[in-house]
Amino acid sequence: MSEGQAHIFQIVYSEQTRKMLDPGFLPLDNVDNERPDWREYWPIRRFLSSTELREGEFYGFFSPRFKEKTGLSSEEVRRFIHADYDVISFSHFFDQSCAFMNLFEQGEAHHEGFFALAQRFFDAIGYNLQLHQLVMDSRQIIFSNYFVAKSAFWREWFLLTEKLFQVAEQGPAGALREDLNASAAHGVLRVPAKVFIMERIASLMLATQHGWRIKPYNTFSLPASPLPISNFRLELVILDALKIAHNTTRHPQYVRAFADFREHLFRRVKARP
């Protein structure tokens, strides 16, 4: 795919992160970082608000740590892009995508109360969704906004993320708005819950809107998280296969098998020295 057909940006926060820029990507300046509470959404939002996307062309917005987290260069990314698809994903941390029914359940495992907060938000905007019934497999799950998509997908994504922005910024005063802006520990940082929801919007779209054509990079060839569960690769592949089987057939037996097998795996992880 030619340079003009895939506009892939890497967000620049400082001179240090500017040095991390892959020369095959374009810099997206966020040195002023006017709204650090929105993390990567702020520079992406500014771009999408001010730029007319070219119909049918690809756009992507990666963090400075893309190479560190995925091991992929811009050349490898561009070689993988194919015009027949709407979304091209490069999602790492296969253990986290495989071991949970969906990304909101995964978020709950790290931030208590996140699952219920996400459901409250989707209820508030009228998005017909029951998170406890949502099954996401590795074809749909994307961490850290590591995807490249055509303009139509970005427009739909922006509509949904702007609803989150409006509720968090200008929504009625009360528990939902306060909880969206409340910070939770994320490594050595504290990050507002709204950011964790925003980072899951692309995956939500792929799991609930069935017209998108996605080409996922093999997540099992990318780095796992440093958590102990990542050592159980075979079991994680089986869990993902059960979710794929469910999403293909809609047979409930696959979900029950997933729950039973995962419970067994979690016991093994906990018992491992």
What percentage of the chain has pLDDT greater than the value 70?
Answer: 97
- Please compute the mean of the pLDDT values over residues 134-145 and round it to a whole number: 97
pLDDT for 184: 79
Tokens of 8: 């892939």
Write down the residue that tokens 């905007």 correspond to: 125
pLDDT for 190: 84
* Bridge-based pairing state of the strands 87-89 and 147-150: antiparallel
Q: What order do you get walking across the sheet with 87-89 strand by strand? A: 26-29, 6-12, 58-62, 147-150, 87-89, 214-216
pLDDT digits (tens, 9 = 90+) for 49-87: 999 999 999 999 999 999 999 999 999 999 999 999 999
pLDDT digits (tens, 9 = 90+) for 163-207: 999 999 998 878 999 999 998 776 657 899 999 999 999 999 999
Q: How far apart are CA 135 and CA 147, in angstroms?
A: 20
> What does the chain come to in residues?
273
pLDDT for 188: 58
pLDDT for 230: 97
The CB density around residue 81, as the number of other CB atoms within 10 Å, is 16
Of 146, 153, 125, whose CA–CA distance to 211 is shortest?
A: 153
pLDDT for 171: 85
pLDDT for residue 95 is more than 70: yes
pLDDT for 3: 41
pLDDT for 1: 46
pTM over 0.85: yes
- Please compute the mean of the pLDDT values over residues 151-162 and round it to a whole number: 98
- Please compute the mean of the pLDDT values over residues 199-218 and round it to a whole number: 97
pLDDT for residue 4 is more than 60: no
Write down the residue that tokens 């809107």 correspond to: 209
Domain spans of the chain, in order of start: 3-225
